[in-house]
Structure formats: structure tokens, C-alpha cells
Amino acid sequence: MSARPADNVDCTSASHARTHARAHSIRLVVIRRQIVTAIRRAFRVSKHLRDCSLRLKTLSSEMFKQMVKLHGLIVLMVMLFVSANPDDSLNRARRQTSAMFTIGAVLDSLDHGTEQAMLSGLQTVKMIYSKDDSRGQPLIKPAVIWIPKEKFLTATNDACELLRVGVVAFVSPPDPLIRQSVRMVSKQFHIPIIETHWDTDRSNSRFAINIHPSHDAFGDAVFEYLSSYSKWNHVILVLADYGNIVKHTAWLNNFEGTLVIRTLGADRFKWKAIVAELASSDARNFLLDIPYWYAKDFLVLAYVHNMTGEQYNYVFTDWDTHLLDLSAFKIDDGASISTFSITPNVGVHEPYGRGPFVENLRSTINKIERAQRYSDILPFLTASASLLYDSILLFGLTLLTLKDPITSRPGALTCDSEGAVFWPHGERLVREVKAFNSSKIPTVTGQILFDRHGYRSNFNMTILSLQNSGLQEIGYWTHRDRLQITHPIKKKKKIPKKPLTTVTLRVTTVPDTPFVIPKKFDAYGQPLKTPDAWEGYCVDLLNLISQDVGFNYTIDITMDHYGSRHVNESGEVYYNGIVGVVHRGEADMAVAALTITYEREQVLDFSTPFMTLGGSLLFMRPKTQKPSIFSFLQPLSPTVWAYVITTYIVVSVGLFLVARLSPYEWQNPHPCEAFSEEKENQFTVLSSFWFFITPLLNQGTEMAPHTISTRLLTGIWWFFALILISTYTANLAAFLTVDTTELPIESVEDLVAQTKIKYGTLQSGSSHDFFKYSRIPVFQRMWEFMSKNDVFVQNTEEGIERVLKGDYVFVLESSWNEFYNKRDCRLMQIGRQLDSKGYGIGLQQGSPYRDPISESILKLQKAQTLDQLKRKWWTEFNISEPCANAKEGSKEAKPLGIEQVGGVFVLLIIGFFWAFIVSVIEFCVHNKACVKSQGALFSEMWKELKFAMRCMTPSTRAKSSPPVIHEPTPVSITAAPEKPERSAEQETIEPVSVQSKGMLTVPMAESNEALLCPSANDMSSSGGSSVEDTYPLPVPPPPLPPQNTTGSPWSHLNNTQKKSPSMGEDWWTISQSAV
């Protein structure tokens, strides 16, 4: 029966739920119908607005047609007037072009080179057309919109903005994504677009003006160079991106040899693996289509993998590779490195001969390329800037000299226009530009001709090959003349190879310990030429190589050191030293500490390096500083000490405040009186400071916190003190026992930043040339300093002597640095190595002995023979005790002297005197307070001082003193206070009467001043007897007031919270200890 009502309730709730759901669905249907109705009304309104806009457009077009007719009549009248006045025909062009034309560009925010090329081209157009480059309004102006490269999606909107301005042409940006967006707008509205890049998608539209060489023309030039001149049958095509293969299709279809394609990609870390793979193959001919700023990186990897021999050939197809100074990579005679260019081949300081604006563009483009792409390029025009300059020149002159001039600009065009709306003059203008005769205009890339497909068919391609003095022109290619080699490369004759077992090689060297040391001399004091007359690292190495390869040798000395590059008065380049001796053929090889450099590689062939080193700084080791007398403060920095003191003050004050706030820290000063209303707080300001200083000194105090808050603060402070004291103790031993050395300079940056310490190198050599030709700002500043001061030395010994005199740093190879600072403990190396290089054996270019000698060095390196030789001559030769051993011996424990711990004594003395001064101040303040009722200040101070200075006086003093009685007389008094009322439970004891000298009674209600300020006469007595007074003692006896330093039993009431009513005049009998 009980379940039925529940079922009825459930049924009722379900019916209500269905009713609400039905009502909710009905409301949704109504709302949906209202929304549909509103949308239909919106469509009707939009249709009405569209009809209105169409009517307005129709009206505006009719008005535009009437204006065109009127404008045509005006032009006709002007032409009739001009024909009637022939002397005024020179101004015809100015009148018909009085309207300003605009060329627009959407460029990357960092592409300032394209803008500069546009401006230079328009200035040249104005100069040619008006014969005046400084007066008058420009006929064509640029309009540029800058956008970040990552926002290429907005390029279409930006091109539409330029379309509203009324541009007559677009300049295609270098970025391919932005370029595609501008192309779409150009194609839709028939606006010409000027392009200067490879048309990789082969979609040249009828509105594009692209003067970049076509794929077919470029393919013909490359094919003729590879097949006719280089005669390559096996080619490795290296691409930066696989999409660039489109521009190589023309010559690839005609090439009949073996072709391998490799893609480097954007990840430069993978290049090493790709180059290593190429090095392991049989490939020797490489055609590289990579950006010019990657060319040096690839050649460095090729050099590392020994791919720079005479059998290797490299051709770079980037038009701007000639901007790089590749002369340093001419390391092997016969290794061919070539490139192509479409700009004239001029000298670094030679003008192009195309006018002042071209030279201005040249310098500006050079600065931009240095800042954005490569910091070390030659001052030449880039291909993109040259092509854009020529395009603007061609388009501008065509626009201004049309026979049927354009009188309207596309200003009414917008990207929102509906229907077939476009500029009617765009296609005709493109045809006129491609038909323009450019033979008489000063273009940079030569005459511009187009084929029937709209591509440029004629261009001048210069062929450059790397020579000792850099890239030099060896020929050119044109559509009419085809390939022409004007300066073929002359191969140097190789030295005829002789059997090494029957040859005696002439070796030149420079005596320099420990590499080459003469030990036998002739009658004139000159070293003998036989191998046994010499010793040293290089001599031992040469003996091992001669035994392995099988040749004999003689050694001769060159007096002018290692040698460097020089230029005489006639401009000829020559080398002195052992480099010049080998280069002139006076010796077969140079064996010494000869550094391999790019300059020396131009005239010599080097073997595999037998020692790796770098530039370093040799400096005199500063003297060890004596420890400071306050060395005990050094384990913590001054900042940490300041933090510790501040924290100590803050926490001590915080303890005082916390103890005052906490009610549980107030305690009963009289534990025997359980119901006393008087409370006392033990943490005063001074006691708080004293309580927190003791943990820092590993001491304790009798005070202890009672509440949770004060205990928590105390525990945290103890933990802080534990960590601080442990850290301090751990570091204290190191600072007291270790001698510190402070270096005035620690790196090459510190050396450049100061002028007190001078620095220099040898008068000539690799270190000297390293700073002279360096392009690193730090080293350039060092060279400026060295060239202005007398800092160069003739030999290493002179440099070391100057170092030992002080304030001089000698820059030399790290091998010498290591050798000398191991023998003279006064010397040391500072900083890191300045560069990385190696020592090698120098031979004549094309010498047949290089490869056998290099193989022998590699064998010795594998057998660790070179390490043994270095250990012999650096660690064991002519050395009694290395500086490392002397340093280890000096690490023995030494007893601490007064210079280490003297500061502790100083601190103790200072504390002693401060304590004495404070005690004097306390003495004076106390007596000054007592003099108000006891006579003159100085007399009382004198009496108190005599009492304090009695050395035989006991250290006990009465709790209180009687009132001052100037003429005390012996009395016999028996006194006792009245008995207080006591309860029945209390048991009283009768007062004991004692008769003695000096006993008196004092009422408690009287002033305590006499008790606080006793006089010396009253406290002194003969015999040192003790006087006891009579007390009424309850059971248990009443507690006496606590003692304190002032001698008054009630002085503690100053720091006590008094909550009881005033006391009655109760009498006490007190005792005095007489002296």
C-alpha cells in the first residue's frame, strides 16, 4: 500500500516534464521562424543596396565617358596648337605627361635593396628624359608598402591598396609567396608587373616584364661551357633546394654524360655528411646552384675533406658569387673554381661607367648586403639590383616616350569591382616595353631583347675563374657570339718527379728552440749543413720522415725568419724568409715552426699539419697577494654580510614585537604568589638582540621563549644560523690557507679595453699577418694599437724579456707559450686561444714530394710518435724541475701567521675598548642621576670611583643602601614591622631582634631615591662586619624582591607590567653588608 502514492507522484512529475518540454519546443520553433524572417528581410535590404550601387556605378561610368570625351577634345586642341607652334615641340612630352605616374611595390620589411634600386632607376629616367636631375617635379614616383615576410597572406590586400592609388605597374618582390599574390592582382586588372627573378613556374603572363635571362638561354650557356670548354662527362649537380632544378632543364636535356643530383637543404649541420659522401665517391666535377653566401662554407667543407686537389672542379651558378673574395681558397694549383655573372667585370675601385646613380646604388647595396647577408663581400652590384635598375629604366623611358601617350591612370580600379573591369592600357604598355630599343640606354646588364614568348633572349654572361689574385674574367657568352674564352687558364709546369732514394733535398729552416737547434759549427761559427749537426723537434721529425720515405737532405739557415707577404714600390708582391726561399726555388722544402696560412698557400704547397696550435697571450705571472688582516671576513661577500646584519636587526625587533603581542609571553615574576596580578615580559629590546646574537656565536642564554610564536621565530633563526655558520666555517679554511692571485687581464677583451699594458707580436710572421689582415673587430682594434706603438719584437727571446720587465703581453703561438711557461714559473698563459691553425712542411707548388711526406706524417700521428716527440722536447728537454711540480710542492699545509688571523685580535681589542668606554658612560650617567640629592657631581663620582678601584674590596654589595646620614652614630635599635593580618592556615614566627651597629628601619612608601643612590661613606665600615635586620617571616617566608645591577630591590618594576593597587606603608627591616 505504501508504494502506490510514490508511483502517483512519479507519474505526475513526468507529465509536468513533458508539458514543459512541449512548451520549450514551441518557443524554439517561434524563435527559428523569427530568425528566418529577419534573414529574408536582410537579403531584401542587401539586394536593394546592390541595385543602388549598380545605378551609381552606371551613372559614374557615364560621367567618366563624358569626361574622357571632353579630355580628348582638350588633347586634340593642344595637339593642334603644338603643330601650329613647332618651336615649342620640346615641351610636348612634359605637357602630355604632366600627370604623375606611380609604380608600386609590396616588399619585405627587410628588403631595402629593391627600394634603392627603384629610386636609382627613376632618378636616371628623370635625368635622361628631362636632362635635369635636380630641378623640376619627378615624372614617375614610387609607392612602397612594407610587410613582414611571415605576413605574406596580406600581400593581396596591400596590392589592392596600391591599385586604389592608381599605379601603372607593380614591382615584383623577391619573396616568392608575396610575388604570387601581386601577380594575381596584376593579371586580373591588366596592370604590368616588373619581375627580375627566375621564372621557375614557367608561367610568364602577358602582363609580366621579366628581363631576367630565360631558362633556355641560361641552359645553352651552361651546356656550351661544360661540354665545349670543360669537357665534363660526369657531373654532380648540387642544389640548395630541389625546386631549382627547373632552371637547369634546358642543359640537362642535352647533356649526354653521367649526372648525379644532390640536395643540401636548409639544415647546414647535414652538409658535412653530404660532402663526406661526395668525397668518398669518384666525383670530381661539381656544378653548385646554392646562394652565394653559402659558397665559402661549402669550400671550407671541401677543404676539410681534401677535395681541393687539381682533379677537382667547382662551378657556382649564383649570379652574385663574384661578390665574395675567394682568393684565400686558391690553395692548390690546378683546382678550378669558376662562376658566372651578368654584371660587368670591373675592379674593386673601378666604376661601372653607367652614371652617378649606379655608383650610389652600388655603395648602398654593398652596405645592405654586408648588414643582412654577409659581412665580408666586395663592393659590387648584385644581380637583382642590376636587373631591377634596368627594368625601371626600360619601363620608365617607354612610358614617357609613347607615340600614343597614356592619358589616364587606373585610379578608379578596386579589387571590389564586379565584372570585367581592368586598365585598358596595360597590355599595350607591356608590348611597347618589349619592343623598345634599349641599345642606346645605359643598362647595367647590356642590351635587352625579348623572344616571341616574352622572355629575355639576349644577355651578357661573364665567366670568371679563381686565380691567385681573385676571380678573373676568362671569357663570356652571348646569344649572338656564343661561348668565347678570351683568357684561357695557363697550367703551371710540374716539377719533374725523381726517385726519392737518389735525391738529396735542400731544406731551409730558422733556428728556434725547441724546433730547430744547431749543435755543430764550422770554424766561422756557422752551423754545419749535415743532419747530425742539428737537433730539435723538427729535426727528429725530418729524420723519421726521411727514413720512411727514403731521401737525404741538407739544412741551411735563412736569416730573415719565416716570411710574410710584402708589396714593393712597383706594386709587385713578394715573400721574404723561408717562404720566399722555397717560392723562388732556392730550396726544396721549409722545415720549421711554419704556420699554414692562406697567404702562404698561394705560393707554397703544405704537407699535412704535424702540430695543431693557436694564437695565445704570454704574460708575467702576478705575485701572490698576502692575505688581508681581515681574511676572516672573506668567506662571505660584503653583500652577504650586509644581508646578515640587516636580517639580524629585523628578526630581533620582530622577536620583541611578537613577544609583546603574545599574551602568553607575559609571566608572573613571583612564582610563589600564584594569584599575583603583576606580569613581566623577559624580551625587552636589548634582551631580544642578545638572545639572537648568541646562536651566531655558538653560545647560549638563560632565557627561553614560552609561546608557539616566539618559539617558531627562534627555531627558524637557529636554522638560519646553523646553515650560515656551517657555510662560513667551511669556507674559512680555504680563505686562510690559500694564497690568491689577481690577474689584471684575463682575456683578449680585457686586454683591448685597457691601454696601460702594451702587447705585440714578432716583427713578421703568421701572428703579425693574422692581426694585420683580420676582419674581426676585436683583432682590428688590437692591430690599430700595435701599429701605433713600438710593440713589435725581432725574436721570441726579446718578447719574453719584455714580458718579464712588466706591463707587456707577448702574442705568440700556443706551442711557444707552453714551452716557455713550463721552464720559467714567472710566465703564464692567459685567456683562450685566439684562433686555430697548424704547423706544416712547406714545399714548392706542384712538388711531387708533398703526398709521400704527408702520408708519412699521418703514419707517425697514428703511431703517437708525434706526441712522444712533443713530450720529449716540451717536458723533458733542458728542464730541471717543471713549474707544475713546484706548484704541487707549494700546496703543503703551512701554519697560519698573524697576517691570516690578525684581524681577530684587532676585533678583540676594538671590542675591549668599546666595552670600557660604555662602562665609563654607564658610570657617569648613574652618578649624574644620583647627584640631584646628594651633593656635587664630581665629588660623588670621585668617591664612587675610589670604591670601585679598591682591588681588595669584596665583590658583594648590599641590596639597598640606607638614606644618607652625614654623621652616623652607633645606635642600638630593635625594630620590627607590625604583624599583618593572616589567615588561620598561616603560621607566623615572631620577629627576631638583633642588636648591632647600623640597624635602622625604612618605610616602603617613601622615596626610593636614597635606596638607588647610596654614598660611599655610608657603605664603608671597618671590620667588614655584616649587619642583619629583623624580618617578620611568614610560613613560607615572603619572597624578597629580585636583585639587579642598580642595587635597588624595586628597580625591576621599571620593566614590569603593574596591575596591583598601591602598597600600604608597610615597614621592613633590611640588612646591609658593611665593608
Query: Which residue in the block uniquely carries the three cell numbers 570585367?
Result: 420
Is residue 928 located within the same domain as residue 1065?
A: no
Is residue 220 located within the same domain as residue 329?
A: yes
pLDDT at 96 over 50: no
How do 827-830 and 666-667 pair as beta strands? unpaired
Residue that finishes a domain, picked among 84, 116, 146: 84
Q: Which domain holds residue 679?
A: 631-737
Is residue 219 located within the same domain as residue 207?
A: no
pLDDT tens digits, one per residue of 151-163: 777 788 888 888 8
Per-residue confidence band for 257, with pLDDT thresholds at 50, 70 and 90: confident
Q: In the chain, pLDDT over 90 holds for what percent of residues?
A: 8
Residue 326 in domain: yes
Residue 198 in domain: yes
Per the CB < 8 A criterion, the answer to whether 608 and 624 are in contact is no
> What is the chain's mean pLDDT, rounded?
74
- What distance in Å separates the CA atoms of residue 186 and residue 170, rounded to the nearest whole number? 7
* DSSP-assigned beta bridge partners for residue 261: 237
Q: Which of 595-609, 777-791, 988-1002 has the lowest mean pLDDT?
A: 988-1002
Query: 533 in helix, strand or coil?
Result: helix
747, 753, 758, 764 alpha-carbon torsion, rounded to 10°: 70
Is residue 514 located within the same domain as residue 579?
A: yes
* DSSP-assigned beta bridge partners for residue 482: 478
Is residue 382 located within the same domain as residue 478?
A: no
Residue 552 in domain: yes
State residue 57's pLDDT score. Answer: 54
**796-805 vs 814-821: helix axis angle to the nearest 10?**
60
pLDDT at 938 over 80: no
CA angle, residues 259, 320, 456, in degrees to nearest 5 = 75
Per the CB < 8 A criterion, the answer to whether 787 and 800 are in contact is no
pLDDT tens digits, one per residue of 274-303: 888 888 888 889 999 998 888 888 888 888
Residue 904's contacts (CB-CB under 8 Å, 6 or more residues apart) are 632
Is residue 246 located within the same domain as residue 201?
A: no
pLDDT at 847 over 60: yes
Residue 766 labeled ligand binder = yes
Query: 680 in helix, strand or coil?
Result: strand
pLDDT tens digits, one per residue of 116-135: 888 888 888 888 877 644 44
Residue 839 in domain: no
User: Does residue 391 or residue 1070 have the better pLDDT?
Assistant: 391
Is residue 323 located within the same domain as residue 468?
A: yes
Residue 844 in domain: no
- Please tell me the number of Cα atoms within 13 Å of 676 on its side-chain side: 17
Residue 803 in domain: no
Q: Which helix (H) or strand (E) holds 922?
A: helix 898-930
State residue 680's pLDDT score. Answer: 83
Per-residue confidence band for 61, with pLDDT thresholds at 50, 70 and 90: low
Per the CB < 8 A criterion, the answer to whether 275 and 224 are in contact is no
Per-residue confidence band for 309, with pLDDT thresholds at 50, 70 and 90: confident
Residue 1056 labeled ligand binder = no
Per the CB < 8 A criterion, the answer to whether 564 and 765 are in contact is yes
pLDDT at 735 over 60: yes
User: Does residue 575 or residue 174 have the better pLDDT?
Assistant: 575
User: Does residue 464 or residue 737 have the better pLDDT?
Assistant: 464
How do 534-535 and 517-518 pair as beta strands? antiparallel
Average pLDDT of span 653-679:
82
Is residue 97 located within the same domain as residue 79?
A: no
Residue 613's contacts (CB-CB under 8 Å, 6 or more residues apart) are 813, 814, 815, 833, 836, 837, 838, 839
State residue 316's pLDDT score. Answer: 93
State residue 51's pLDDT score. Answer: 62
State residue 404's pLDDT score. Answer: 77
- What distance in Å separates the CA atoms of residue 400 and residue 944, rounded to the nearest whole number? 118
Average pLDDT of span 186-204:
78
Residue 955 in domain: no
User: Does residue 724 or residue 966 have the better pLDDT?
Assistant: 724
Give the chain's domain count.
7
pLDDT tens digits, one per residue of 960-982: 444 444 445 444 444 444 545 44
Q: What are phi and psi of 195, to 5 degrees?
A: -120, 145
pLDDT at 1072 over 70: no
pLDDT tens digits, one per residue of 358-411: 777 777 777 777 676 666 677 788 888 888 888 888 888 888 888 777 766 676
Residue 740 labeled ligand binder = no
Query: Which residue in the block uniquely carries the three cell numbers 646552384?
Result: 289
Per the CB < 8 A criterion, the answer to whether 901 and 632 are in contact is yes
Is residue 441 located within the same domain as residue 476?
A: no
Residue 757 in domain: no
Is residue 384 located within the same domain as residue 468?
A: no
Average pLDDT of span 905-922:
77
Is residue 96 located within the same domain as residue 39?
A: no
Q: Say which CATH number the domain at 508 has.
A: 3.40.190.10
Q: Say which CATH number the domain at 668 has.
A: 1.10.287
State residue 541's pLDDT score. Answer: 94
Q: Say which CATH number the domain at 101 has.
A: 3.40.50.2300
pLDDT at 259 over 80: yes
> Is the model's pTM score more than 0.95?
no
**Residue 25, all three cell numbers:** 519546443
Is residue 336 located within the same domain as residue 466?
A: yes
Per-residue confidence band for 99, with pLDDT thresholds at 50, 70 and 90: very low
State residue 1035's pLDDT score. Answer: 46
